[in-house]
């Protein structure tokens, strides 16, 4: 987050996060990238012990009672460790908690939120299925009513934290006789009989985050673990798009930042043709572009976080969040690629972590909704929004010399 926009309390919070990030051993980062550590349990336990998880939730539940702006700042700082650290930091405490804090019963908050924020339990969010992630409402997982609860069957894939989670937020079809958006339910599913998870993907990057296929075979889920009402998955799904996408955007900045910083240091020291390569405009301008993209991304995350904190119009927030996710993830990917390019051949090796950052960041434009889906939402919301606000602003159409040549204004 920008220094000049922070209060003293926010700076102190930022410094706590930076101290925590500094304390994480490099061995853990390397072991995760080698797939030798499948899930960084101790990292989350320590974050919980330091009260760093979920800062925007009520103090009574183990949060700090802060705002979205603070959560975004936290996600950026944790992203510096590597994208997957921010993924596991965010999935439980930012995503799963968000839904339970907003829509859960008091009993669910006690059983799930409090231990999660304390780092004592781990959670995973299960939307994506083998048959598709973008088409969320096409989900094939289903739950059928039984005495005192539901019997859940289905398979989810690419689930961050899935290999270690103690419980799962799972969407399933509960009424096949109505359109899917009226017949799906969200469940909080404890790991137990019928739940299996396999850490099986050869991921390009973001390794060590417990990304797994999770299967549910005749799993009994008590009524008390229905989140937000039977057939009311939409009430959970749509609001969760805010933490999914705004959190993703914020952490992507943090993950790209070290690449740009390393490139700055390297190009200041490295010489070619008798001078530091930073003094060649072809090099220095790429670093300048990268820094500009990071700052533009940070600005967008900040203003969108302010819109969410202010309770702005939900449709406009939906557009802001989607365009923020799309712009920031593609901008940060570009910034990291610039960083690798100006480091020449060595940037492509594992002598520096830049190649890992580039690999890791490829996930940013895919998960929590692809950037194509983000564009789809922005398009839909913008056209609706324009129709609503057009009458309130000056009509620019007559401000052209031949504006009234109706014969030239042909639309069909
Ligand atoms: C490492 C990793 C971690 C993940 N973590 C999680 C997690 O924790 N929980 C979870 O639920 N999911 C997770 N995902 C899944 C991720 O969110 C999905 O992969 C993503 O939403 C895309 O779904 P898909 O892979 O099924 O692709 P598809 O939906 O099959 O899409 C394939 C392509 O078609 C495009 N496309 C689809 N529909 C449209 C359209 N209408 N207009 C334009 N283009 C379209 C997409 O943009 C994409 O380019 C993770 C994925 C990975 C790789």
Look at residues 24, 30, 37, 122 and name the one whose alpha carbon lies nearest to residue 80: 24
- Which residue's CA is the nearest one to ligand 1's atom 35? 372
Q: Where are the domains of the chain?
A: 3-122, 126-231, 234-388
The pair of three-digit structure tokens given for residue 30, joined into one six-digit string? 């390397």
- Model confidence at 390, pLDDT cuts 50, 70, 90, reads confident
Q: Which atom of ligand 1 is nearest to the CA of 366?
A: 20
In the chain, the percentage of residues whose pLDDT exceeds 70 is 100
Residue 167's pLDDT is 98
- Model confidence at 320, pLDDT cuts 50, 70, 90, reads very high
| Residue 100 near residue 227 (C-beta atoms within 8 A) | yes
Q: Which atom of ligand 1 is nearest to the CA of 131?
A: 26
Check pocket membership of 370 for ligand 1, CB cut-off 6 A.
yes
Check pocket membership of 381 for ligand 1, CB cut-off 6 A.
no
Pairing mode, strands 271-272 and 184-190: unpaired
Q: Which atom of ligand 1 is nearest to the CA of 126?
A: 11
Q: Which atom of ligand 1 is nearest to the CA of 161?
A: 8
- 153 three-class SS: strand
Check pocket membership of 30 for ligand 1, CB cut-off 6 A.
no
Q: Which atom of ligand 1 is nearest to the CA of 91?
A: 8
d(CA 377, CA 373): 6
The verdict on domain 234-388 having CATH code 1.20.140.10 is yes
Residue 200's pLDDT is 81
d(CA 172, CA 209): 24
Look at residues 215, 222, 154, 211 and name the one whose alpha carbon lies nearest to residue 188: 222
Q: Which atom of ligand 1 is nearest to the CA of 369?
A: 21
Average pLDDT over residues 72-84: 98
pLDDT at 152 over 90: yes
What is the Cα Rg of the chain in Å? 23
- Which residue's CA is the nearest one to ligand 1's atom 3? 158
Residue 275's pLDDT is 98
Averaged pLDDT score across all residues of the chain? 97
Superfamily of domain 3-122: Acyl-CoA dehydrogenase/oxidase, N-terminal domain (1.10.540.10)
d(CA 108, CA 121): 14
| Residue 186 near residue 149 (C-beta atoms within 8 A) | no
- Model confidence at 1, pLDDT cuts 50, 70, 90, reads confident
Instruction: Find the 279 Cα to ligand 1 centroid distance in Å.
Output: 41
Check pocket membership of 158 for ligand 1, CB cut-off 6 A.
yes
Inter-CA distances, 399 with 133, 264, 388, 389, 403, Å: 45, 47, 21, 19, 7
Q: Under CATH, to which class is 126-231 assigned?
A: mainly beta
Same fold, 126-231 and 234-388: no
In the chain, the percentage of residues whose pLDDT exceeds 90 is 97
Residue 201's pLDDT is 82
Average pLDDT over residues 92-106: 96
Q: Which atom of ligand 1 is nearest to the CA of 156?
A: 11
The per-residue pLDDT for range 111-127, each reduced to its tens digit, is 999 999 999 999 999 99
Average pLDDT over residues 283-306: 98
Check pocket membership of 203 for ligand 1, CB cut-off 6 A.
yes
Residue 187's pLDDT is 98
Instruction: Find the 407 Cα to ligand 1 centroid distance in Å.
Output: 46
The per-residue pLDDT for range 242-292, each reduced to its tens digit, is 999 999 999 999 999 999 999 999 999 999 999 999 999 999 999 999 999
pLDDT at 73 over 90: yes
Check pocket membership of 126 for ligand 1, CB cut-off 6 A.
yes
> Which of 85, 87, 125, 134 has the most ligand 1 atoms within 8 A of CB, as the residue to mutate?
134
> Which of 82, 91, 93, 128 has the most ligand 1 atoms within 8 A of CB, as the residue to mutate?
128
Instruction: Find the 203 Cα to ligand 1 centroid distance in Å.
Output: 14
pLDDT at 86 over 90: yes
| Residue 324 near residue 369 (C-beta atoms within 8 A) | no
The pair of three-digit structure tokens given for residue 352, joined into one six-digit string? 């520096």
The per-residue pLDDT for range 192-220, each reduced to its tens digit, is 999 999 988 899 999 999 999 999 999 99
pTM: 0.96
Q: Which atom of ligand 1 is nearest to the CA of 135?
A: 29
Average pLDDT over residues 51-76: 97
pLDDT at 341 over 90: yes
How many CB atoms are located within 10 Å of the residue 309 CB? Answer: 15
Average pLDDT over residues 348-367: 98
- Which residue's CA is the nearest one to ligand 1's atom 30? 132
Check pocket membership of 132 for ligand 1, CB cut-off 6 A.
yes
Average pLDDT over residues 159-163: 97
Check pocket membership of 310 for ligand 1, CB cut-off 6 A.
no
As a three-state string, the secondary structure of 186-236 is EEEEECCCCEEEECCCCCCCCCCCCCEEEEEEEEEEEHHHEECCCCCHHHH
């Amino acid at each position: 987050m920008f220094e000049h926009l922070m209060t003293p309390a926010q700076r102190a919070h930022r410094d706590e996060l930076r101290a925590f990030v500094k304390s994480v051993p490099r061995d853990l980062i390397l072991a995760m990238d080698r797939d030798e550590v499948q899930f960084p349990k101790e990292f989350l336990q320590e974050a919980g012990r330091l009260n760093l998880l979920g800062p925007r939730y009520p103090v009574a539940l183990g949060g700090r009672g802060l705002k979205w702006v603070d959560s975004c700042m936290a996600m950026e700082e944790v992203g510096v460790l590597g994208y997957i650290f921010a993924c596991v930091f965010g999935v439980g405490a930012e995503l799963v908690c968000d839904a339970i804090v907003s829509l859960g019963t008091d009993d669910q908050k006690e059983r799930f939120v409090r231990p999660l924020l304390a780092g004592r339990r781990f959670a995973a969010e299960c939307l994506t299925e083998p048959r598709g992630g973008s088409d969320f409402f096409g989900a094939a997982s289903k739950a059928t009513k039984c005495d005192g609860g539901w019997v859940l069957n289905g398979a989810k894939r690419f689930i961050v934290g899935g290999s270690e989670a103690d419980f799962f937020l799972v969407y399933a079809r509960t009424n096949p006789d109505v359109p899917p958006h009226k017949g799906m339910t969200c469940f909080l599913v404890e790991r137990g009989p019928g739940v299996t998870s396999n850490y099986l993907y050869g991921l390009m990057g973001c390794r060590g985050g417990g990304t797994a296929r999770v299967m549910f075979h005749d799993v009994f889920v008590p009524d008390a673990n229905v989140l937000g009402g039977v057939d009311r998955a939409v009430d959970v799904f749509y609001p969760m798009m805010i933490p999914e996408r705004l959190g993703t955007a914020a952490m992507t900045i943090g993950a790209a930042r070290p690449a740009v910083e390393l490139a700055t240091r390297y190009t200041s020291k490295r010489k070619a043709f008798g001078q530091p390569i930073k003094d060649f405009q072809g090099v220095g301008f790429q670093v300048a572009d990268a820094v500009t993209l990071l700052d533009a991304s940070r600005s967008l995350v900040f203003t969108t976080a302010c819109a969410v904190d202010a309770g702005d119009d939900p449709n406009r927030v939906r557009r802001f969040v989607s365009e923020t996710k799309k712009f920031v993830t593609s901008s940060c990917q570009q910034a990291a690629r610039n960083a690798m390019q100006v480091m020449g051949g060595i940037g492509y090796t594992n002598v520096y972590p830049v190649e890992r950052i580039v690999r890791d960041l490829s996930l940013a434009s895919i998960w929590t909704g692809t950037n194509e889906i983000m564009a789809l939402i922005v398009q839909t919301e913008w056209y609706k929004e324009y129709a609503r606000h057009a009458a309130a602003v000056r009509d620019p159409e007559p401000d052209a010399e031949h504006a009234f040549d109706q014969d030239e204004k042909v639309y069909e």
